[in-house]
């Protein structure tokens, strides 16, 4: 499932030129396509926890992958731009829901191996981000752009099959939850993470990390070419920046799972960001690979945010609510990064204001990381878990 969560994002960008020959795809619309993933990931993050009140995480996982498969198939067959955008939106919404349900599924099935399983699935997400753009052009050359972006729907279909074996009927899931509530001797409860300072801190850490990462994805090549590097060399800098995320995905969750307070990981990410940004600002043409590498180490706080969703909650239901809140707020915040960075560059004619803006966001990241890394459970904050009283017939909703 983790492998399918980015295929709709990275399989299209290498083919925009070929797609524009058949569909109306002006430059401004290509820019909109670049913002749609984070926007829909954010919206899906806020909506999915509401669906968790009625449906199990297994059912939502199947629904998310089915929506992603249908959306990718629709846009591959799209006769015009509107249908292409609608298919893209459906696919990305499904993947956004998948982002949210993975952490609570780790909490549910592997409560004693949270660090290991988080490391594995975040690493596989990285692979699912890297492989599609590598295959996009060769497959398009062999069978056209529609085949190149459409065949990923089959991967989603294959990923659905194992989940069908653990997808309980809706009635059975409700009865199981009702039985657990009765055995607990109390009313059902709902988790409201926005009432917790730690949940807000987690959302800000996730969001600021994503904001900086997506800003570098968008503008690092232009920073490099502006310093005198060739287009090919600029592409290498972006590959260095993004490629270092793979070992981080493996190491950070394992380390965090063994630390009572993982703030040293936040400090490492902050120091890496600052050193990388200073180098790209003051000496972008000198040892550019080093500045790109250091900046690429900064998003160590991304896998840390994902593992903290489980380390700072007591149950998989609380994990689901916190996952949706943190990713919903975080991805919506991340949308602003590339946009503001571009506006500041155009307004000033240089990158100083952009790096100043990114530096201010790192201050927020430091404060948020300090708050959420302290050993505590978000569920324990006052007002976060609220008891519900149910009246009338029928089983209570699944929370």
Same domain, 113 and 243: no
Q: Are residues 214 and 134 in the same domain?
A: no
CATH of the domain at 204: 1.20.1250.20
Mean pLDDT of the chain: 86
Share of the chain above pLDDT 90, in %: 51
Looking at the predicted structure, is the pLDDT value of residue 10 above 60? yes
Looking at the fold, whether 88 and 208 belong to one and the same domain comes out as no
Does 152 reside within a domain?
yes
Q: What is the pLDDT of residues 146-161, one digit of tens each?
A: 999 999 999 999 999 9
The pTM assigned to this predicted structure is 0.83
Q: 8: domain range?
A: 1-167
Q: Are 6 and 95 in contact (CB under 8 A)?
A: yes
pLDDT at 178: 53
Most confidently modeled range among 32-46, 58-72, 384-398? 58-72
134 with 82, same domain: the answer is yes
The dihedrals phi and psi of 190, each to the nearest 5 degrees, come to -125, 145
Residue 396 lies in a domain: no
Whether residue 336 is predicted with pLDDT greater than 50 in this model: the reply is: yes
In the chain, the percentage of residues whose pLDDT exceeds 70 is: 90
Domain assignment present for 279: yes
**Residues 104, 31 share a domain:** yes
Has residue 399 got a pLDDT over 70? no
pLDDT 10s digits, 298-327:
999 999 999 999 999 988 888 999 999 999
Q: Rounded to a whole number, what is the distance in angstroms from the first to the last CA of the chain?
A: 23
Regarding whether 79 and 141 lie in a shared domain, the answer is yes
Q: What is the pLDDT of residue 177?
A: 54
Number of domains present in the structure of the chain: 2
Residues 299 and 366 in one domain: yes
CB atoms within 10 A of CB 134: 11
287 in any annotated domain: yes
Overall average pLDDT of the 342-352 stretch: 88
| pLDDT band with cut points at 50, 70 and 90 for residue 358 | very high
Task: Answer yes or no: do 161 and 198 share one domain.
Answer: no
* Per-residue pLDDT reduced to its tens digit, 18-32: 888 888 877 667 667
Q: Does a structural domain hold residue 92?
A: yes
35, 90: one domain:
yes
Mean pLDDT of 355-377: 95
What HEC string does the chain produce?
A: CHHHHCHHHHCCHHHHHHHHHHCCCCHHHHHHHHHHHHHHHHHHHHHHHHHCCCCCHHHHHHHHHHHHHHHHHHHHCCCCHHHHHHHHHHHHHHHHHHHHHHHHHHHHHCCCCHHHHHHHHHHHHHHHHHHHHHHHHHHHHHHCHHHHHHCHHHHHHHHHHHHHCCCCCHHHHHHHHHHHHHHHCCCCEEECHHHCHHHHHHHHHHHHHHHHHHHHHHHHHHHHHHCCCCHHHHHHHHHHHHHCHHHHHHHHHHHHHCCCCCHHHHHHHHHHHHHHHHHHHHCCCCCHHHHHHHHHHHHHHHHHHHHHHHHCCCCHHHHHHHHHHHHHHHHHHHCHHHHHHHHHHHHHCCCHHHHHHHHHHHHHHHHHHHHHHCCCCHHHCCCCEEECCCCCCCCCCCC
Whether residue 397 has pLDDT greater than 70: no
Q: Tell me: the pLDDT tens digits for 98-138?
A: 999 999 999 999 999 999 999 999 999 888 887 888 888 88
Asked if 378 and 313 sit in the same domain, the reply is yes
Tell me, yes or no, whether 155 and 261 share the same domain. no
Residue 185 has a pLDDT of 42
Is residue 185 one of the residues assigned to a domain?
Answer: no
Q: What count of other Cβ atoms lies within 10 Å of the Cβ of residue 343?
A: 14
* Tens of pLDDT, residues 220-266: 888 888 888 887 788 788 888 888 888 898 899 999 989 999 999 99
Asked if 149 and 245 sit in the same domain, the reply is: no
Query: Is the distance from CB of 133 to CB of 239 less than 8 angstroms?
Result: no
Query: 187 in a domain, yes or no?
Result: no
CA-CA distance, 90 to 67, in Å (whole number)? 6
- 166-195 pLDDT, tens digit per residue, is 766 555 555 555 554 444 444 567 888 988
Whether residue 188 lies inside any domain: the answer is: no
């Amino acid at each position: 499932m983790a492998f399918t969560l980015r295929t709709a994002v990275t399989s299209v960008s290498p083919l925009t030129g070929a797609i524009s020959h058949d569909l109306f795809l002006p430059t401004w619309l290509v820019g909109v396509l670049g913002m749609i993933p984070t926007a829909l990931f954010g919206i899906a993050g806020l909506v999915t926890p509401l669906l968790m009140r009625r449906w199990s995480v297994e059912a939502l996982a199947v629904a998310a992958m089915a929506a992603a498969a249908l959306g990718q198939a629709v846009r591959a067959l799209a006769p015009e731009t509107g249908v292409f955008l609608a298919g893209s939106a459906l696919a990305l919404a499904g993947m956004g829901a998948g982002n949210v349900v993975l952490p609570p599924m780790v909490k549910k099935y592997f409560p004693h191996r949270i660090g290991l399983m988080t490391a594995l699935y975040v690493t596989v997400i990285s692979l699912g981000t890297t492989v599609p753009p590598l295959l996009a052009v060769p497959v398009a050359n062999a069978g056209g752009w529609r085949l190149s972006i459409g065949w990923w729907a089959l991967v989603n279909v294959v990923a659905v099959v194992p989940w069908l074996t653990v997808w309980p009927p809706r009635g059975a899931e409700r009865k199981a939850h009702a039985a657990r509530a009765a055995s607990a001797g109390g009313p059902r409860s709902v988790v409201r993470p926005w009432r917790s300072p730690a949940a807000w801190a987690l959302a800000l850490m996730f969001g600021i990390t994503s904001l900086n990462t997506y800003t570098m994805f968008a503008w690092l090549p232009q920073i490099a070419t502006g310093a005198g590097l060739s287009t090919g060399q600029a592409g290498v800098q972006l590959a260095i920046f993004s490629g270092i995320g793979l070992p981080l995905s493996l190491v950070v969750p394992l380390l965090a799972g063994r630390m009572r307070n993982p703030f040293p990981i936040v400090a490492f990410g902050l120091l890496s960001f600052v050193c990388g940004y200073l180098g790209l600002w003051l000496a972008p043409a000198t040892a550019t690979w080093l500045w790109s590498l250091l900046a690429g180490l900064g998003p160590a706080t991304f896998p840390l945010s994902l593992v903290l969703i489980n380390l700072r909650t007591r149950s998989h239901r609380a994990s689901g609510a916190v996952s949706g809140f943190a990713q919903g707020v975080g991805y919506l915040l991340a949308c602003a990064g590339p946009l503001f960075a571009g506006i500041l560059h155009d307004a000033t004619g240089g990158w100083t204001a952009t790096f100043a803006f990114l530096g201010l966001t790192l201050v927020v990241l430091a404060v948020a990381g300090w708050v959420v890394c302290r050993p505590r459970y978000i569920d324990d904050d006052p007002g976060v878990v609220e008891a519900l009283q149910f009246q009338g017939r029928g089983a209570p909703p699944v929370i």
